[in-house]
A and B are shown apart, each in its own frame.
Chain A
Amino acid sequence: MRAALTIEGLEVNFGGFKAVDGMTTVIDDGELRVILGPNGAGKTTLMDLISGKTATTGGKVHLFGRDITNRPEHEIARAGVGRKFQIPSIFRDLTVLQNLEVAVSHEPRVFRNLRLGMAAADRKRIDDVIELTGLDAVLDTLAGDLSHGQMQWLELGMLITQQSRVILLDEPTAGMTQAETSKTADIILRLKGTHTILVVEHDMAFVRKIAERVTVMHLGKLLAEGPMQAIEADPAVREAYLGSGGMH
């Protein structure tokens, strides 16, 4: 299997404190990988390092063999990494439809975008995403007026519209009701295979529903990696979680 994302000895030093400390893992093309770890383990920071939000102080990130370490955010995005944040990051003063239109970003340059309208293929892509995320009833609503769950789906929909090959999802079900969580799991499962997905999640019911391989982080390092059952039985993992309230 071809590697989509190769993380090699990744490290960031915040004035003496290493939030991510020599993290190494390889995520295959088309894989859905769940990252677990107690609070403060460095999961969000790992995504910050991959997506260029935070500069690394050591190690490498390769995307389909290409070195993307410490590139500017927009270049990493163009290389194929899409990112969903813990707190939904959407364009609140634009309508839902406009949010999705902006997400069609295969032509990023200013002058090339000095034109009206969109290609039929792009329209079709947006329509598919609307169908997938079930946002058809709120297309003309300002994104800032959506419910929390809808905002999360919109952001997810934008990543799909963007056609990122690798999608980083940071706690996509945070603050969701059970019904919303289940719908989010369905959306993510439908992306499996066509996208490589890296999910940070706390909700164990959700994780069990979607997980194949699981990576556990602790104190900025890789603690364990493997299929869900093996991870749940791993004494080292149990111990790491005991110190911070256990797995739920």
Chain B
Amino acid sequence: MSNRIFRLGDRAVYAAFIIIVLALPLMVDDVFWLNRIAKYLVFGMLGLAIALSWGYAGILNLGQGLFFGLGAYMIAMSLKLQSFTSLQQGSDTPIPDFMLWNAQPGAPTDLCCITPGSWLWIPFQAQWFGIVMAIVVPVVFALILGATIFRLRISGVYVAIITLALVLLARLLFIDLQPVTNGFNGLTDLGWLTVGGIEFDPFMVETYYIIAVSVCAVLLLSRWLISTRAGLILQSTRDDPNRSRYLGYDVASYQIFFFTVSAGIAGFAGMLFVIVSEFATPTYFDIAFSISMVVWAAVGGRSSLIGAALGAILINTIEASVSESETFQQAWRLIIGVVFVLVVLYMPRGLAGLARDLLARVVELSGRAGRKDARSTRTAAE
């Protein structure tokens, strides 16, 4: 009985989310706002990806920014080559402006050899290559990393430390490889995503829809994944990996699969973020960003995909509205920190858990009222 109500409630929240996200442009005609919301939706995707690995697999990835950043850089390379300035560097083929500033004296103005490693950019002249790589690179990287970690049966806090260390390493590397990545400044002044002759200006309703549809699709796909048998088995490995092994499951293969899916979603999110924000910088590899994702998921509810997504959207919306004032901005960091600690200690299921408990309470109360009604009619009849 109450289970059916929970299922209904759950479906209602998903349906409401999807309808609101898709109908939003009808209500908001300020394109700057739409652009902002598109970014929060991307963060929602990041919260969801964390919930998938942390909540359902018990894998706390503190370096999810690594996959987000990789996805972002891959598409940004293609969009950089598509930018107007890249075509203005005195060569027949596009050359990123920063490569000229970093070029060795006398080096030919060509992607093959203008800077050490610039040849890496050659295939990115095709935009589809950047799009494909934005998914493939994070996925392959996660696959290798996951296979190493989980085959060795590394778990818990060690996974957190390893992923944290890796995202730091990536940050150093991307800053250090100045001639290929433009170092600290990252890739800015990007062209627009162009599909079938349509240029997707970040401040266009169509661009918002790319994000909105992607987020809804990822949400539904992830929900399907966790409701399959594989999703249930994954949750069993979170609770007691040894029991899963003695039932005959190769625990590592489940962890690797879902860790990789989560990384793939983060990479996809990185790509979408570049499309709406028009830059990719090493700040994506900042520890603070990766930890923020975990905070969003924790507050929203790590054992609920949509809860984690809403947590991310909610926190970012509040953050944006308080960040107008300097003092508030300072206070906000503190508030979020305290909220995180409180949630982890006292509300491990986050806002989603709170909503469920409220619903349960309502069901219980109405059930009791129903029984009371039945009783009073019975007494009246007697």
Residues of chain A from 66 to 94 with CB closer than 8 A to chain B in the complex: 72-74, 77-78, 82-83, 89-94
Q: Is the CB of A101 within 8 A of B254?
A: no
By the criterion CB–CB under 8 Å, are B248 and A92 in contact? no
**How far, in angstroms, from A101 to B248 measured CA to CA in the complex?**
13
Q: Given A91-B235, A101-B232, A110-B253, A77–B248 Cβ distance below 8 Å?
A: yes
Is there a chain A Cβ closer than 8 Å to B7's Cβ? no
Residues of B within 8 A of A72 (CB): 245, 250
Contact partner of B247 among A53, A114, A116, A162, CB < 8 A? A162
Query: Does A94 lie within 8 Å of B239, measured CB to CB?
Result: yes
Q: Which A-chain residue is minimally distant from B244 (CB atoms)?
A: A102
Contact mask A9-35 → B, CB, 8 Å, 1/0? 000000000000000000000000000
Question: Are B240 and A82 closer than 8 Å at their CB atoms?
Answer: no
Known: A102-B232, A114-B225. A91 touches B243 (CB 8 A): yes
Beta-carbon contact of B228 and A105 below 8 Å: no
CA distance A74 to B232 in the complex (A): 17
Known: A108-B248, A140-B3. A113 touches B229 (CB 8 A): yes
| Shortest Cβ distance from residue A201 to the other chain B in the assembled complex, whole angstroms | 20
Q: Tell me which of A103, A113, A158 contacts B228 (CB under 8 A).
A: A113
Task: Select one of A101, A110, A158 contacting B257, CB under 8 A.
Answer: A110
B217-237 CB contact bits vs A (8 Å, 1 = yes)? 000000011011110110110
- Tell me which of A93, A108, A111 contacts B250 (CB under 8 A): A108
Chain A nearest CB from B237 CB (Å) reads 9
- Kindly report which residue of chain A lies nearest to residue B2, judged by CB atoms: A140
Q: Chain A contact residues (Cβ within 8 angstroms of B): what range?
A: 20 to 34
> B54-89: contact bitstring with A at CB < 8 Å (1 yes, 0 no)?
000000000000000000000000000000000000
Give the contacts of B253-278 with A (CB-CB under 8 A): 253-254, 257
- CB of A110 within 8 A of CB of B254, answer yes
How many Å lie between the Cα of A105 and that of B227 in the bound state?
17
Contact pattern, A 130-147, Cβ under 8 Å of B = 1, otherwise 0: 000000000010000000
Chain A residues whose C-beta falls within 8 Å of the C-beta of B257 in the assembled complex: 110
Query: For A158, what are the chain B residues with a Cβ–Cβ distance below 8 Å?
Result: 243, 247
CB-based contact B249/A74 at 8 Å: yes
B235: which A residues are within 8 A, CB to CB? 91, 93-94, 98
Residue of A nearest to B224 (CB): A116
Give the residues in chain A near B230, CB-CB below 8 Å: 110-111, 113-114
| B246, CB-defined interface residue at 8 Å | yes
Q: How far is the CA of A90 from the CA of B228 in the complex (A)?
A: 20
Cβ of B194 under 8 Å from chain A: no
Measured in the bound complex, the distance between the Cα atoms of B250 and A108 in whole Å is: 7
Q: Are A109 and B253 interface neighbours, CB within 8 A?
A: yes
Does B239 contact A73, Cβ atoms closer than 8 Å?
no
Min distance, Cβ A169 to any Cβ of chain B, angstroms: 12
What is the distance, in angstroms, from A57's C-beta to the closest C-beta of chain B? 21
A46 to chain B, nearest CB (A): 16
Inter-chain contact A51/B246, CB cutoff 8 Å: yes
A115 nearest CB neighbor, chain B only: B228
The minimal Cβ–Cβ distance linking B360 to chain A, given in whole angstroms, is 13
* B250 to A: closest C-beta gap in Å: 5
Residue of B nearest to A80 (CB): B248
Say yes or no: B246 contacts A82, CB within 8 Å: yes
Does A118 interact with chain B (Cβ within 8 Å)? yes
Across the interface, do B247 and A102 meet the contact criterion of CB distance under 8 Å? Answer: yes
Contact A74 B240 (CB under 8 A): no
Bound-state CA distance A115–B242 (Å) is 24
Is B233 touching A103 in the complex (CB atoms < 8 A)? no
Which 5 residue pairs of A and B lie closest in terms of their CB atoms, listed nearest first? A113-B230, A77-B248, A91-B239, A73-B245, A113-B229
Instruction: Tell me the B residues contacting A by CB distance below 8 Å.
Output: 3, 224-225, 227-230, 232-233, 235-236, 238-240, 242-251, 253-254, 257
21 pairs of residues in contact across A and B, judged by CB atoms under 8 Å? A74-B248, A74-B250, A74-B251, A77-B247, A77-B248, A89-B240, A92-B240, A93-B238, A94-B235, A94-B236, A98-B235, A102-B232, A102-B244, A105-B249, A110-B254, A111-B230, A114-B225, A114-B230, A116-B227, A140-B3, A162-B248
